[in-house]
Structure 1
Amino acid sequence: MRSTFAELAMVEGLTKTSEEEKDTNTTAADAEGEESAVFVVETMTDKSMHHVVGITGISGRVLPTEDERIVLRSAVRSLLDLAGHRAGPARTEVVLTGLDPRILRCGRQSS
């Protein structure tokens, strides 16, 4: 049970933005002065098992490094677990900064 709360705290931390960022309408990377890249992570979930089927870049670098792919998969799978996503495709946009991933949006996709 403790690890579930730790994961929840981690994902909540990934999706939080400061009031200053909200007020100035900047991305997390702009506010932190770091270079960033935005990636789309496509997943297919069956019986609560999330399978990453694709990662593509939409700004910055086109392909993530292996370390970045690990971070992207982990952040998205944690988010889908915490959201209770049990089946079907999902699309998640994530910004990678020099510090950590930031979830921009996540939603179910029509199959």
Structure 2
Amino acid sequence: RANEALGLPGTPAAAVAALMDKAALRARSNALHTVRPVSFVRCGRAALIPFLAALIGFPCVVKPRAGVLGEGVRLLAGPAGAEAAVREYPQVTDLLVEEYLEGPELAVEALSRGGRHRVLGWARRIPGPGAAALTATGHELPVALPAEAAAAVRDLVRGVLDLAGHRDGPSHTELVLTPYGPRLIEAHAHPGAEELLALLRLGHGTDVLALALAAGLGLPEPVRHPRAAHAGLRYVDFPPGT
């Protein structure tokens, strides 16, 4: 909003809000798919989670309509998990229940300028085991995809950013490579976590922040220097007090 008030370039506040509204973004991204859109339903009361989860089918995912960094996102494996979720969201009145997307997961970094979206690269997201599948335990690259699949990933990212009205600056999109093609998890009007950007610098020689700064200031792009054939990271989760 400050950028708009001062007449400075940048992503409109409405685009940021559109990317944060997970229900609206899901509905919009479904319009990009002629085959198998993602099943979802809005939930106005936590008490309705078991009914709506059964309607969508297990496994499914419940999450707040608005949020970032996976806050409040839960994987429901069955009716028992749905009943437990009722107690986890007592004060939340705007939830989203959607089908669980199965397949390899990608984290995609892109840079937009004047409404043109350039996909800079992606890394494979390594999920946790079982009920922790929604929590990343690491990332790695490169991710070799067939030409058709890679084109579909780029098309989905560009389509989602277009629908949200994202015009300038970096973005971070998470998606799943389902048997029916890539499907959106969520997207944000900011770059991924620093460790993910470090992977792109190491593996692709792509400095997302330097590119974004150069684009914003009208400077020449920094030279790309690939430095590693493979790059990866793992997160270690220690018990409290360790």
Tell me if TM exceeds 0.5. yes
4+ runs of 1 displaced by more than 4 Å? 11-15
| Counterpart pick for 2:100 among 10, 15, 27 | 27
Distance in 2 between residues matched to 1:54 and 1:87, nearest whole Å: 17
Larger Rg: 2
Distance in 1 between residues matched to 2:184 and 2:39, nearest whole Å: 10
For residues 38-78 of structure 1, the C-alpha deviation after alignment (integer angstroms, 9 at most, x for no partner) is 01110000000000011111138951412221111000100
| Counterpart pick for 2:177 among 92, 96, 107 | 96
Distance in 2 between residues matched to 1:103 and 1:97, nearest whole Å: 10
Distance in 1 between residues matched to 2:154 and 2:110, nearest whole Å: 9
- Which residue is equivalent to 1:82? 163
Distance in 2 between residues matched to 1:95 and 1:108, nearest whole Å: 19
Indicate whether 1:9 and 2:37 are aligned: no
Secondary structure of 2:158's counterpart equals: helix
- Listed as ranges, the gaps of 5+ residues in structure 1 are 1-6, 30-35
RMSD: 3.0
| Identity, % of aligned positions | 25
Question: What is the CA-CA distance between 1:83 and the residue it aligns to?
Answer: 0.4
Amino acid at match of 1:16: V
Distance in 2 between residues matched to 1:93 and 1:9, nearest whole Å: 18
Question: What is the CA-CA distance between 1:13 and the residue it aligns to?
Answer: 7.5
Q: Give TM-score, length-normalised by structure 1.
A: 0.72
Q: Give TM-score, length-normalised by structure 2.
A: 0.36
Q: Which has the higher helix share?
A: 1
Question: What is the CA-CA distance between 1:8 and the residue it aligns to?
Answer: 6.9
Secondary structure of 1:78's counterpart equals: helix
- Listed as ranges, the gaps of 5+ residues in structure 2 are 1-28, 41-55, 63-75, 78-98, 128-139, 192-208, 210-242
Aligned residues between the structures: 99
Distance in 2 between residues matched to 1:106 and 1:39, nearest whole Å: 12
**Alignment of structure 1 residues 61-76 onto 2, 5 Å:** 62=141, 63-65=143-145, 66-76=147-157
Q: Which has the higher strand share?
A: 1
Indicate whether 1:108 and 2:189 are aligned: yes
